[in-house]
Amino acid sequence: MIAVEERVQDKAEALDAQLRGASPQEILKAAIEAFPGKIALVSSFGAESAVLLHMAAGIDPDIPVLFLETGMLFGQTLDYRKSLTAQLGLTNVQDLRPDPVALSTMDPKNRLWQTSTDACCAIRKVQPLDEALLGYEAWITGRKRFQSSTRANLRVVEVNEAGQIKINPLANWSKAELDAYAAEHALPAHPLVAQGYPSIGCWPCTKPVEEGEDARSGRWSGSEKIECGIHVSHIP
Ligand code: SF4
């Protein structure tokens, strides 16, 4: 087991050294080639998701795209997930839903977020994603360094606690670069961006933010929580 973990660490370090200065498109292409049939892209279909999804569709429109359908998303997100998928020609977007038994046991009235956001995220996000990712060696995320102080040191390639490699093709990009790419390719924005939401999750835990604040400061606003738990990782 230790030998397997060391091999994963070695592969992640080699990929990171190879790709840390590459463009997002080069990173995506190299990642898809490095893990043929064993890599998925995880997308929230949120405020900036269109850029990475557009790049991925241009390289491999059949790549598995995993979408956490928590049951607590804004209706605008569900509509956007459908229309953007069709526009980009993505053929394999999969909705990951919470286990109905876990939901009926732990959150029968959909109010768990009021008493424990960690437990709510665990059954609605972490567990469904953990289960889905068992079939993959690596996954691609849309995280960027500029999003928050907690992501300021994000690597292009890292390893999570389950020993899976995570690729962050947009880690190096600025907000201006994302906006320029979206404008160049006429990508539709999530409808809530215009209403002051630069980061969009479940409706009970997402608020609009003021100009100049961290893009993610509207997530779990007023609490210590800053991540849902799917991005717990350690640096190789
Ligand atoms: S973001 Fe909020 S509503 Fe969504 S799973 Fe986490 S705690 Fe529950």
C-beta of 28 in contact with ligand 1 (< 6 A): no
* Residue 236: predicted pLDDT: 29
User: 108-125: buried (b, 16+ CB within 10 Å) or exposed (e) per residue?
Assistant: eeeebbeeebeebbbbbb
228 a catalytic residue? yes
CA of residue 117 to ligand 1 center, whole Å: 6
44, pLDDT greater than 80: yes
C-beta of 219 in contact with ligand 1 (< 6 A): no
Nearest-10 crossing angle of helices 49-59, 75-88? 30
* Secondary structure (DSSP) of 44-112: ---TTHHHHHHHHHHH-TTS-EEEE--S-B-HHHHHHHHHHHHHHT---EEEE---HHHHHHH-TTS-H
For ligand 1, atom 2: residue with the closest CA: 205
Q: What are phi and psi of 144, to 5 degrees?
A: -130, 155
11's torsion region: left (phi>0), alpha (psi -120 to 50) or beta? alpha
- 127-151 confidence digits (pLDDT tens): 999 999 999 999 999 998 887 677 7
- 209-219 confidence digits (pLDDT tens): 887 777 777 77
Paired sense of beta strands 138-140 and 39-42, if any:
parallel
197, pLDDT greater than 70: yes
Which atom of ligand 1 sits closest to the CA of residue 72? Answer: 3
Nearest-10 crossing angle of helices 2-19, 24-34? 150
207, pLDDT greater than 70: yes
Alpha-carbon distances of 177 from 24, 183, 193, rounded to whole Å: 11, 10, 17
C-beta of 125 in contact with ligand 1 (< 6 A): yes
Length of the chain: 236
pTM: 0.92
For ligand 1, atom 8: residue with the closest CA: 120
